A = this chain, B = another copy of it.
Amino acid sequence: MNEILEQTLLYDFYGELLTAHQKEIYEQFVLDDLSLSEIAETAGISRQGVHDLVKRCQKTLEGYESKLHLVEKFLSIRDKANRIEQILGECEREKRDPGEIVARIREITDAIIEEL
């Protein structure tokens, strides 16, 4: 996964655990893609200050994921949902045996339920 996507996902999941100030600065960096200097100017703090704050946020968010693994869990579920969609596509295109389709989809949904 690329770094920006990973940071965005971590922020989606755990961002609410940051302070309002951290969120404001971090969003400008990760979501709005502003440079450290641009953020520093608007926020009235030094470029180094923004840099440190962003790094600290990343470390905090990664810390939550290393303990809770909820992004990992969600990506695994999304992957399974995508596999179901793929099977449905095959089912439409290839007129497969419905019994086989049911068995394959059931196996994946069982795995989704297990994951919880």
Contact = CB atoms under 8 A, between A and B. Distances in A.
A41 B81 CA distance: 48
Nearest to A73: B74
Given A88-B105, A98-B98, A102-B88, A77 B16 contact: no
A91 B84 contact: no
A17 interface: yes
A112 B70 contact: no
Contact count band on A: 20 to 34
Given A78-B112, A112-B112, 11 more contacts: A78-B113, A81-B112, A82-B109, A82-B113, A85-B110, A88-B106, A91-B98, A91-B102, A92-B99, A98-B101, A105-B105
Nearest to A9: B116
Interface in A33-70: 64, 67-68, 70
Contact of A109 (B85, B99, B113, B116): B85
